[in-house]
Amino acid sequence: MEFVQNLPFISIILSLFSGPLSSVLDGKKAKRVNIAVISIIGVMSAAVLAYVVRTGKAFVYMMGHFPAPWGNEIRVGVLEALMAVFFCVIMLLSMIGGVREREIQIEETKQNLYYVMVNLLLSSLLALIYTNDLFTAYVFVEINTISACGLIMIRQNGRTIEAATRYMIMSLLGSGLLLLGICFLYDLTGQLLMSNIQAAVRALDASGQYHIPLLVSMVLISVGLAIKSALYPFHAWLPDAYGYSTLSSAAILSSLVSKGYIFLLIKIFYRVIGFGIVRESKVIHILFVFGIIGMIMGSLSAIKEKDIRRMIAYSSVAQIGYIYMGFGLGTLPGVIASIYHILSHAATKSLLFVAASGLTDSAGDSTDFSDLTGAGYRNKLAGIAFTVGSLSMVGFPVFSGFISKLLFAQAAVGHEIKMLPTLIALAISTILNALYFMNTVIRIYTPERRRGNEKQRVVPLREQPAKSAALVCFIVLNIFLGLSSEPIIEMIRTGLGMFM
Amino acid sequence: MNGWILIPVFLPAAAGIFLLLSSFLQHLREVKRHKIARTQAEIEAESADLKKIHILTAAVLAVSAAVSLAAVWSGDKEVALLYLMKGIPLYFKVDAAGRLFVTVVSLIWTAVCAYSFAYMKHEGEERRFFGFYLLGYGVLIALGLAGNLVTFYLFYELLTLTSMPLVLHNGTRESIMASLKYLFYSMCGAYMGLFGIYFLFRYCGTLTFTAGGSLDMALVQDNRGVILIAVFSMIVGFGAKAGMLPLHAWLPAAHPVAPSPASAVLSGVIVKAGALAMLRTIYYVVGPDFLRGTWVQYVWMTLTLLTVFVGSMLAYREPVFKKRLAYSTVSQISYILFGLSLLTPQALTGALLHTVFHAVIKTGLFLTAGIFITQCGKTRTEDYAGIGKRMPWTLGCYTLLSLALIGIPPASGFISKWYLAQGALDAGAGVFRWLGPAVLLISALLTAGYLLPIVMKGFFPGKDTDTGKDTDTNIDTDAGTGKSQEPSVWMLAPLAICAVLAVVFGIFPNPLIQYAEHIASAVL
Amino acid sequence: MNAIIMIIVVLTPMIAGVLVPVLPFRNRRQMMFYIEGAVILTSALVISMLVNPPSDSLILFRFTGDLSVSFRLDGLGTVFAGMVALLWPLAVLYSFEYMEQEKKEKYFFAFYIIAYGVTLGVALAEDILTMYFFFEMLSLVTLPLIMYTLTSEAVQASRTYFYYMVGGAAFAFIGMIFILNYGTTSVFVPGGVLDMAKVGEKTDMLLVIYVLCFCGFSVKTAMWPMSSWLPKAGVAPTPVTALLHAVAVVKTGAFTVMRITYYSFGTELIRGTWAQNLLMTLVIITIVYGCSRALKETHFKRRLAWSTVSNLSYVLFGVVLMSPLGLIGALCHMVFHAVMKICAFFCAGAVIEKTGRTYIYELDGFGRKMPKVFVAFTLSSLALMGVPGLCGFISKWNLAKAAVASENPLAYVGAAALLVSALLTAIYMLTISVRAFFPGRDFDYETIRDVEDPGWMMLLPLAFFAAAMFYFGLHPQTILNVFESIGAVMP
């Protein structure tokens, strides 16, 4: 066994234990530890990715030499490693971008607590990505939920507490359903390791027994994870949670946490139940329909929104709709498109959140649209970044959003019946995206005509070097995804191949 | 090389453009100086300039007219100027019908030119007037010489554009509105014509004028209906210029506001361009055989007869002299069109004859109107009572012209109407056999009704009409005593020529009849 | 490796444009030389490329798999590239004088030149993805040009503009995806690339998608009911309205429609179906609708913009005839309308720049004071009306010829619509000329005493366009041969 194969486990443990460590440090040090941990894990994940790509095979890492069915396994393929790298990058950039907000919005004494939560979150995300064990997955889902709640609540005002409570309730409902689903599966198969369950399920399916319970467990798992990842109509918790929490939280929550659950769902569909069986069930059509409805409804809500943060949050609802629509197609290209969109949306959405905060800086922290008029002139970099993010969302060529739109559409064309609805939904959703994103872009470049708005001020480039650096990185990342998507798509494809 | 036959097209055009440019520059200078009053020297320079303009115009017109007559009467010629597109040259050809048209245009244009030297002193802006006047001449000659439908169409549109400024010459709001009306009606007509041309180009293969038409019957077979619609659209469209219902409304609006020489040529010649267009289309492109007995022919005849009648009625009820003449033109041109629509040799002969006669007569009538207006400043017919006492020669000429138009033998109008009626009776066109002549007769009566009262009132005003008390501008108090108010010989001579011609054509019609029959026999 | 020139011509103006706000110009003159130099250089390169056409294609970069941004020059691209290459330097020259009073002109020129490169990109695109790429880019780089004045009206207009553009692109995208998946190749091939084995029974769906795609691309050509953005966009500075919204942007729409119809979907499948009839109906409605709106409009530039709406649909009418002849007519009108309309717009711009008057009823007597401008305007009016001897007649003739040859009754209606539109054009254009030259005899020229003709930088383009209108009107065969050679390769 090569040393590299230890790295996934080490990274989970590292972030898990840096949590308790941070709790005894003061805010500044905790921050440094956190940044360091994320960076190290990022580098390690990259090494893992390189290794897996080189060998072209997934590897399984057993914890403590206990084989199945008792043991606990980590399984690493190209896709998992890619996700890990990507999540680290986004998280790092989000943390860097939100430094100032955290300092202002979080009480001095609770600064270190924040980093505890972030570290825990990272470890749980990594675990969700890597684990080959349903029960472990469930455990980390819960850890994920708790830490996410913490991230929302840590900026203490009435709204966030309300939002966090809401999030908590919805998430626990989701977790409960997920747990039920897992229980059903365990009951049917007597296994917890994913690969083992798959074999058992295949046998069950071949024998034609327990058809209904299998379906029920699929529905329970899907609904549970759909609630947690805010698929329409289970999105009610989302706008408040993303809209009022501190910047880093919003960016991380929107681009990573919900994506972690979706990734888990894809994993369960592929690795646990088997995609063939999923495709035959009706569950996938339901996801498809709700995906499409979400695409439209999310955008419609965003159009009505007058608060830029909440608008971006609602846009997430639409984007998650895209992802569900993608694998709702039930084809391999559809799933590839969905996974690519997870990446592209993560990169874009966190960019938008950070850029929006740059804009609100120049409006005296007002998130109201009317105060943002002309903000693009007062904070130039944020303006450009927001424009890039918006164009990516609208699906302009050169930016990442275009590629995911392209992939979705190409996937749709392969499907007999779902082709036209998908294509038209894509078109409509593009227009709706333009309606609110480009409207905002034009607004921030419209000169302010009202006089005497003292809150507004010019934010020079150097005032927040961290945020500026993060924005530049985000822009580069976005264009990189838009221009040379080929290797990434190839990785996703091989990664999915390794799932089998 | 027959290129020289185009001299009468380009020479006047060049001279016209030169005059327009100089008019433009003059305006620029005036506007730049922001001056309202002129010095004595300037006024003198002005009148010297005016002389030069007159000489230039007269010279150009004389040369062009001479060359054009020489060109058309020295045998058939053709010249292709350039190719617009593959198979569509700008092509000119002298043929019998064109010869007739060019001759009429040249004669009338020269005569009216002499008249306008005197007349236009009242209107001002001579440079512009003569500029467009010369341009119009060039375009009309080109129209007569055009050898295919596209060339014809080109000059047809240009004719509208160059004659429009003649209408709005005096620059009042009314005349501008009238000129726009003229423009839009003409354009509408031209475009309807163009619609047909598109189809004919496909189904004829060539648009070159060929006596008897050039429809490709193999292509036509299944598309008869479409082509008929296209041809009908052309008839209605070209009818706009000829004042045929339903696109006649511009004519009574435009004629009264234009200066009299302009209305004279408008009514005498330019409206004939519409008739020429129909002649060319029906007899030289589509072919009369294709139309005979179709709904298009019947609708066409109905429209023309309706126009003949309605035009006369409206003229009869109209008190403004020039407007009355305009309605009369509406009615008279449709005589020609009726002749064309019958598709028989005799009717066609009548139509051609009427073209010539009406050109002469109507020009003369408008010249009379111009004299009345300049000499006594009145536009309504009831004010012309007693005018014969002051202008016996003018009214005398008018009387001759009126008789000719009504068609009282031996004046010319009789000949053409005779042929038209004969043609109608010979044509196997059902009810139109007798309806046509009947309408012509009624219209002749109405014509007498609207032209002759002026003669009577003019010579015999009656006792209760007191012409002497009128102290308005142009009629000085001497007028009542019957002192002559005859205009200068420059104005009177062209009028007299028209009047004499109108009668002479009626007395010695044979050469003309033979010529017209020659044309008719070639195409039918 | 002369194919590399295609990348050079696309990138030169883009880079030059990006550099405009960055470079430290000492004075305006220097900037003018730089900008005009860059544009003329590009145009010269384009012309040399057209004269000595590169035969092979060239890939700029790849998106994914076989989806790449790549260039190749063919007949249709030659026409479009040649057209913009001739117009752009003149328009830039004109803008120098027009933008004299403006403060942020650097940004204006930057985007103005970048748009040149993008338009060339559309012209040279080898496949549908590349074309879509530049199609979208064009919407983006022209957005700041509409917003330029930053008045609330301009902002509103740019918003509308962008929504329409994005909407159009979204539907165009559907067609693109379809071609990518159901075509044998994504490269443009005369006669279309659809793989009939893959399409199989799904022809109805194909037609639905074609219609959506056509409508999507023709948003840029302002086809009814997607036409209201164009008149609104008239708030932009006149060089933008003239060059972009009468030529580059809107013609890009027409060009892309030609591409997808004749080079991707292929006309065989669509001719005679409900899709053709539906589209032709829309086009005919637009032809008449645009004109009648122009008639009602009293704002000078907006009237011209509505006229553009109508004229663009002439081009589309040629396209939907689905025959080589139709394509020839469409190309013909695409090029000729560019000359005519840009001339008219430049006249309007000269009036606005010199006097600040924007409504037609304010133009009384201007013919005397700005004779050169209004003579040019009258010429362009006559050309737009289709008076023979000027270029508008030729294009209308070719369109009508194609319509008559198609023997489709709806096409006959279309030919009639062309003429109805010509009549309406006469009414809304010539009333302006008549007003300007014949204000009525009582008109007091003192009220417009300061009005005068603009300088040579504005007049030179006008003279050029006027000459071009005559040239194309009297001697069109040379350029028609080019169009015919494009039509001839259609199967």
The 10s digit of each residue's pLDDT in A88-139 is: 999 999 998 888 888 888 888 888 888 889 999 999 999 999 988 888 889 9
- Say if C282 falls within a structural domain: yes
Which chain A positions have a beta carbon within 8 Å of C149's beta carbon?
A: none
Q: How confident is the model at residue B471 (pLDDT cuts 50, 70, 90)?
A: very low
B183–C387 CB contact, under 8 Å:
no
Question: If you average pLDDT over residues B376-388, what whole number do you get?
Answer: 79
C158–A447 CB contact, under 8 Å:
no
Which chain B positions have a beta carbon within 8 Å of C398's beta carbon?
A: 85
Smallest Cα distance from C225 to chain B, Å: 27
Which chain C positions have a beta carbon within 8 Å of B153's beta carbon?
A: 388
The residue of chain B nearest to residue C472, with distances taken between CA atoms, is B84
For B25-76, how does the pLDDT look when each residue is reduced to its tens digit (9 = 90+)?
Answer: 877 777 666 555 556 777 777 778 888 888 888 888 888 888 888 888 888 8
Question: Is residue A462's pLDDT more than 80?
Answer: no
CA angle A400, A404, A405 (to 5 degrees): 110
- Say if C328 falls within a structural domain: yes
Which of B315, B306, B345, B356 has its CA nearest to residue B451? B315
**Residues B452, A422: Cα–Cα separation, whole Å:** 83
CA angle B321, B327, B328 (to 5 degrees): 85
**Residues C287, C317: Cα–Cα separation, whole Å:** 9
Find out whether the peptide bond into B259 is cis, omega within 30 degrees of 0. Answer: no
Which chain C positions have a beta carbon within 8 Å of B194's beta carbon?
A: 386, 400, 419, 422
Domain range list for chain A: 282-500
For A165-210, how does the pLDDT look when each residue is reduced to its tens digit (9 = 90+)?
Answer: 888 999 999 999 999 999 988 888 888 888 888 888 888 888 878 8
Which chain A positions have a beta carbon within 8 Å of C132's beta carbon?
A: 397
Bridging pattern class, strands C58-64 and A73-76: unpaired
B157–C427 CB contact, under 8 Å:
no
B31–C368 CB contact, under 8 Å:
yes
Residue A453 confidence (pLDDT): 67
- Say if C266 falls within a structural domain: no
**Is the CB of residue B179 less than 8 Å away from at least one CB of chain C?**
yes
The residue of chain A nearest to residue C201, with distances taken between CA atoms, is A416
Q: What's chain A's average pLDDT?
A: 87
Say which of C371, C401, C441 has its CB closest to residue B198. Answer: C401
Interface mutation target, options A369, A422, A438, A439, chain C, most CBs of C under 10 Å: A438
C401–B199 CB contact, under 8 Å:
no
Measuring CA to CA, how many Å separate B520 from each of B329, B339, B354? 24, 11, 14
Name subunits touching A (3+ CB pairs < 8 A). Answer: C
**Is the CB of residue C474 less than 8 Å away from at least one CB of chain B?**
yes
- Single pTM value for the model: 0.89
For C409-422, how does the pLDDT look when each residue is reduced to its tens digit (9 = 90+)?
Answer: 899 999 999 999 99
Which chain B positions have a beta carbon within 8 Å of C480's beta carbon?
A: 85-86
A442–C158 CB contact, under 8 Å:
yes
**Is the CB of residue C451 less than 8 Å away from at least one CB of chain B?**
no
Measuring CA to CA, how many Å separate A292 from each of A231, A426, B103, B488? 10, 9, 79, 91
Question: Is residue A331's pLDDT more than 90?
Answer: no
**Is the CB of residue A461 less than 8 Å away from at least one CB of chain C?**
no
A413–C178 CB contact, under 8 Å:
yes
Question: Is residue B256's pLDDT more than 50?
Answer: yes
Residue C352 belongs to what domain range?
Answer: 271-491
CA angle C14, C16, C19 (to 5 degrees): 110
- DSSP structure string for A354-415: HHHHHHHHHTTT--BGGGGTTHHHHSHHHHHHHHHHHHHHHT-TTSHHHHHHHHHHHHHHT-
Burial B131-147 (b: 16+ CB within 10 A, else e): bbbbbbbbbbbbbbbbb
Question: Is residue B277's pLDDT more than 90?
Answer: yes
Question: Is residue B299's pLDDT more than 70?
Answer: yes
Give phi and psi for A143, each to the nearest 5.
-60, -45
**Is the CB of residue B180 less than 8 Å away from at least one CB of chain C?**
yes
**Residues A439, A444: Cα–Cα separation, whole Å:** 9
C404–B199 CB contact, under 8 Å:
yes
Return the higher-pLDDT residue of B488 and A140: A140
Q: How confident is the model at residue B464 (pLDDT cuts 50, 70, 90)?
A: low
**Is the CB of residue A397 less than 8 Å away from at least one CB of chain C?**
yes
**Is the CB of residue A423 less than 8 Å away from at least one CB of chain C?**
yes
Name subunits touching C (3+ CB pairs < 8 A). Answer: A, B
Say which of C61, C170, C177 has its CB closest to residue A431. Answer: C170
Residue A43 confidence (pLDDT): 93
**Is the CB of residue C405 less than 8 Å away from at least one CB of chain B?**
yes
Question: If you average pLDDT over residues C141-162, what whole number do you get?
Answer: 87
DSSP helix/strand/coil, B260 = helix
Question: If you average pLDDT over residues B146-158, what whole number do you get?
Answer: 91
Smallest Cα distance from A383 to chain C, Å: 14
Question: If you average pLDDT over residues B166-190, what whole number do you get?
Answer: 88
Q: How confident is the model at residue B287 (pLDDT cuts 50, 70, 90)?
A: confident
Question: If you average pLDDT over residues C85-97, what whole number do you get?
Answer: 88
Which residues contact residue A36 at a Cβ distance below 8 angstroms, ignoring those fewer than 6 apart? none
B194–C476 CB contact, under 8 Å:
no
Calculated CA dihedral for residues B421, B426, B430, B435, nearest 10 degrees: 10
For C182-235, how does the pLDDT look when each residue is reduced to its tens digit (9 = 90+)?
Answer: 888 888 888 888 888 887 777 888 899 899 999 999 999 988 888 888 888 888
Smallest Cα distance from C367 to chain B, Å: 10
C163–A395 CB contact, under 8 Å:
no
> What's the number of domains chain C is made of?
1
Residue B469 confidence (pLDDT): 45
Residue B338 confidence (pLDDT): 92
For C267-296, how does the pLDDT look when each residue is reduced to its tens digit (9 = 90+)?
Answer: 888 888 899 999 999 999 999 999 999 999
Beta bridge partners of A490: none
For C117-143, how does the pLDDT look when each residue is reduced to its tens digit (9 = 90+)?
Answer: 999 999 999 888 899 989 988 988 888
Tell me whether chains C and B touch (3+ CB pairs under 8 A): yes
A426–C174 CB contact, under 8 Å:
yes
For A403-412, how does the pLDDT look when each residue is reduced to its tens digit (9 = 90+)?
Answer: 899 899 988 8
**Is the CB of residue C445 less than 8 Å away from at least one CB of chain B?**
yes
**Residues C67, C72: Cα–Cα separation, whole Å:** 15
Give phi and psi for C60, each to the nearest 5.
-85, -55
Say which of B34, B188, B202 has its CB closest to residue C423. Answer: B188
A414–C205 CB contact, under 8 Å:
no
Q: How confident is the model at residue B480 (pLDDT cuts 50, 70, 90)?
A: very low
The residue of chain C nearest to residue B189, with distances taken between CA atoms, is C423
For B414-445, how does the pLDDT look when each residue is reduced to its tens digit (9 = 90+)?
Answer: 889 989 988 888 877 678 888 888 999 999 99
Question: Is residue B478's pLDDT more than 60?
Answer: no
For B230-247, how does the pLDDT look when each residue is reduced to its tens digit (9 = 90+)?
Answer: 999 999 999 999 988 888
- CB A63: neighbour CB atoms within 10 A? 12
Burial A264-291 (b: 16+ CB within 10 A, else e): bbbbbbbbbbbbebbeebebbebbbebb
Question: If you average pLDDT over residues B202-222, what whole number do you get?
Answer: 83
Say which of A397, A431, A435 has its CB closest to residue C136. Answer: A397
Interface mutation target, options C434, C443, C471, chain B, most CBs of B under 10 Å: C434
Which of B377, B368, B371 has its CA nearest to residue B472? B377
**Is the CB of residue C434 less than 8 Å away from at least one CB of chain B?**
yes
B471's tokens: 């102290």
Q: How confident is the model at residue B121 (pLDDT cuts 50, 70, 90)?
A: confident
Residue A113 confidence (pLDDT): 86
- Say if C385 falls within a structural domain: yes
Smallest Cα distance from B68 to chain C, Å: 23
**Is the CB of residue A61 less than 8 Å away from at least one CB of chain C?**
no
Q: How confident is the model at residue B459 (pLDDT cuts 50, 70, 90)?
A: confident
- Say if C49 falls within a structural domain: no
Which chain B positions have a beta carbon within 8 Å of C430's beta carbon?
A: 180, 183
Interface mutation target, options A370, A384, A393, A398, chain C, most CBs of C under 10 Å: A398
Q: What's chain B's average pLDDT?
A: 85
Say which of C398, C401, C441 has its CB closest to residue B172. Answer: C441
Could you tell me how many CB contacts below 8 A there are between chain B and chain C?
92
C477–B172 CB contact, under 8 Å:
no
- Say if C204 falls within a structural domain: no
Question: If you average pLDDT over residues C36-62, what whole number do you get?
Answer: 87
Tell me whether chains A and B touch (3+ CB pairs under 8 A): no
The residue of chain C nearest to residue A436, with distances taken between CA atoms, is C163
- Say if C137 falls within a structural domain: no
Q: How confident is the model at residue B472 (pLDDT cuts 50, 70, 90)?
A: very low
Question: Is residue B474's pLDDT more than 50?
Answer: no
Residue C328 confidence (pLDDT): 92
Residue A452 confidence (pLDDT): 65
Residue B37 confidence (pLDDT): 55
B30's tokens: 């005036």
The residue of chain C nearest to residue A406, with distances taken between CA atoms, is C177
Question: Is residue B373's pLDDT more than 90?
Answer: no
Say which of A394, A413, A449 has its CB closest to residue C166. Answer: A394
